[in-house]
Amino acid sequence: MFGYYLEVTNTHKNKVPETWIRKQTLANAERYITPELKEYEEKIVGAEDKIMALEIQLYDALILALQEYIQPVQRNAHALARLDCLLCFAHNAVQFKYRRPVVNDSYQINITEGRHPVIEQGLPPGESYVNNDLLLNHEDQQVIILTGPNMSGKSALLRQTALITLMAHMGSFVPASAAEIGLTDKIFTRVGASDNLSGGESTFMVEMNETASIINNISPQPHHPR
């Protein structure tokens, strides 16, 4: 705010050269500037503006130089992104013992020893995730009603089913010993409780509205983890 100055305590202010210019008076000291210091200050303050102007100039020159290479750069970036994604898929599949799912036109989800890909990686050393089998189809089990106490894994089973389905459609191996996934066009969930009291909606009403939205938007494809 005050720029550069030379501060001299009152004890020694009588030694200040006459060429120094008083800039500010404090309770115990005086602040001075000199022509040389003022010139140095202007150089420093002006340097920021010069730096910004040079950066803009160099950046604009770089953009102009790259214009004719935009398509090759984008193609390379796209190829590298695909390789990066596939490398991550492969790394996780090997490290966490994922298996290749079968994605087909059937009307079922059949998962053997399925696991939640995030929860199992966050478990303390020595603990293993309790895997779960799951079957959903038209003939044997179209809806599952799952009950249990808090922290027993109900939501984990719901989420791991949705994640395994999504991972299979992404082209990734999945955290299960085997998985047959019918082509799925939508995944709906309603997890957790919240209200909208300011809008006149209780927790129960919010849950019912979200459930109604799921029912009204599902398609003939039967495999929606719910």
pLDDT tens for the chain, 226 residues: list them.
Answer: 678 889 999 999 889 898 898 888 899 999 999 989 988 888 888 888 899 999 999 999 999 999 989 999 999 999 999 999 999 999 999 999 999 999 998 888 999 999 999 999 888 988 888 899 999 988 888 888 989 888 888 888 989 999 999 999 999 999 999 999 998 888 888 777 676 667 777 778 888 888 888 888 888 765 444 4
pLDDT of the residue at 208: 87
The token duo for 91 is 């790394």
Q: Where on the phi/psi map is residue 75: left (φ > 0), alpha (ψ -120 to 50), or beta?
A: alpha
Give the Cβ contact number of residue 29 at 10 Å: 15
Q: Which residues of 173-185 are buried (b: 16+ CB within 10 A; e: fewer)?
A: bbbbeebbbbebe
Q: Is 62 exposed, middle or buried (0-12, 13-18, 19+ CB in 10 A)?
A: exposed
